[in-house]
Amino acid sequence: MEAIPSDNKAMTAPDGGFNFLTPEAWKALLSGYSHIVLVANSEAVDLERLRSELPETALYVFFNKVYKVLDEPFVGHSMLVARSDVMGAHIVHRREAADVLRFFGGDEFLGVVNIRVSVEENLSEESRFEGAKARHLDLTQMLADLYPIGKIATSGFAVALWLADLQLPGKVLLAGFSAKRSEKWKVFDVHDWTFEQIFLRLFARMGSISMMGGVDASPYSALAKRFPEVPPIEIAMTAAEVLSERLDNTNSQIDRLMSITKFIRAVDNFFRRFKPKTRKQRFLEKSKG
């Protein structure tokens, strides 16, 4: 597979399909906003509270399936991040672009930013985004030596790091980045949620970004205030000791459940062999052939 240019120079492919900007151009585009708010597709997002507490100069960055957090068209400064996989932007090859982009419009909509974070992912041409202005962003080099091997970064994590590196004058605010499974929306095992939460919270404590909840609500901050004479490393080691014991206990219960459900999983695996192949699986087989 031919690699997509990743030097972020302002350029257009010969067919006019891709629109890359330099870091300087991105900074010029985003520096006019007092806040850059990354809105996760999570039930933890309180968009009404955000809109009431932040000024009108805030830019709200949404991701992929925005109908998870929006019930009506968004009025205000906004931008949509469209993540890619091997077949291109998710919302394009899944034919969801029109359904997603109906939530945005007008002069306050900056358009779509189609991103990729690994070399297996491919970008989609600007013409595939239902007439919306589209820019392209390749973050593979930024994450190559950073993210745990065998896992793929989430779009929110990648964009948060990229914005922090741009060193914008406005504040970068993360909303709903809890990494918690909910009754309605699941989290995917392909991402290293633990690594991302540790990284983002350290970034927040350094002041590079801000998080709604998470850092300020940490119970361990209360421990540090209650025991000011105890070094932070001792508190961390004690917390790690307790968590390790609880994890061992949890693993014992998981092993028991795996044993009990062995027959059920065997039946499930048998019937999965008869499940029709997805469009992505057919695409991969065709590309290999």
HEC string of the chain? CCCCCCCCCCEECCCCCCEECCHHHHHHHHCCCCEEEEECCCCCCCHHHHHHHCCCCEEEEEECCHHHCCCCCCCCCEEEEEEEECCEEHHHHCCCHHHHHCCCCCCCEEEEEEEECCCCCCCCCHHHCCCCCEEEEECHHHHHCCCCCCCCCCHHHHHHHHHHHHCCCCEEEEECCCCCCCCCCCCCCCCCHHHHHHHHHHHHHHCCCEECCCCCCCHHHHHHHHCCCCCHHHHHHHHHHHHHHHHHHHHHHHHHHHHHCHHHHHHHHHHHCCCCCCHHHHHHHHHHC
- Work out the mean pLDDT of the chain and round it to a whole number: 85
Least confident span in 3-12, 200-209, 225-234, 239-248:
3-12
Instruction: Give percent of the chain with pLDDT exceeding 90.
Output: 51
pLDDT in tens, 238-285: 888 887 888 888 888 888 888 888 888 888 888 877 777 776 666 656
Tell me the pTM.
Answer: 0.80
Mean predicted confidence (pLDDT) in 128-150 = 94
Taking residues 189-203, report their average pLDDT: 87
pLDDT higher than 70, residue 16: no
| 39-65 pLDDT tens trace | 998 888 888 989 999 999 999 999 999
pLDDT tens digits, 92-133: 999 999 999 999 989 999 999 999 999 999 999 999 999 999
